[in-house]
């Protein structure tokens, strides 16, 4: 239960930071539910620089990420984690893309992990970039390296994703 609460608090913090740091026409979808197994996605960000599937992790303890492997330090030893954030967020990206394709709107979805926990993580050439809550300027630099979406595509994707939400997405200005 405490992990779940910590995760929700981390998502709240991420959303507050996004509200302050993003400019332009961005939509934020929280807790998006795709009609597939494990279809719950923490945050989807949609705007002029693409579609982002964000997996928020608020882990405690010591972790490391090498390529697409994640491990946690237990005592003196490193052990694999039960739910690999890299594989999880990549699958979310694939699921969103397939869902959009099923609605005749195929678009690339960029996966990102957001490290929001009190735990430490060592990154060694991660297969999926990891964003840290305290460095939103680095997220923006990462986003600038992505392609652009036209307003028409953004509107079409937003209409499709809104169908999967319990609440209206938040507009980031």
Alpha carbon distance 33, 20 (integer Å): 26
pTM listed for this prediction: 0.91
User: Please, what is the average pLDDT of the chain?
Assistant: 89
Phi then psi dihedrals of residue 75, to 5 deg: 65, -120
The reported pLDDT for the residue numbered 7 is: 84
pLDDT tens string 136-166: 999 889 998 888 999 999 999 999 999 887 5
pLDDT tens string 8-51: 899 999 999 988 888 767 899 988 888 887 768 999 999 999 99
């Amino acid at each position: 239960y405490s992990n779940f609460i910590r995760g929700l608090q981390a998502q709240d913090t991420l959303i507050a930071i996004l509200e302050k740091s993003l400019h332009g026409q961005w939509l934020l979808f929280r807790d998006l539910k795709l009609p597939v197994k494990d279809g719950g996605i923490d945050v989807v960000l949609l705007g002029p620089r693409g579609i982002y599937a964000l997996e928020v992790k608020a882990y405690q303890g010591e972790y490391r990420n090498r390529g697409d492997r994640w491990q946690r330090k237990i005592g003196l030893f490193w052990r694999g984690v039960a739910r690999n954030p890299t594989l999880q967020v990549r699958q979310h990206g694939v699921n969103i893309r397939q869902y959009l394709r099923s609605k005749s709107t195929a678009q690339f979805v960029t996966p990102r992990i957001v490290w929001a926990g009190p735990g430490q993580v060592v990154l060694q050439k991660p297969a999926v970039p990891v964003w840290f809550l305290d460095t939103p300027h680095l997220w923006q630099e990462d986003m600038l390296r992505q392609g652009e979406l036209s307003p028409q595509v953004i509107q079409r994707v937003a209409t499709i994703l809104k169908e999967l939400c319990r609440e209206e997405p938040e507009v980031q200005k």
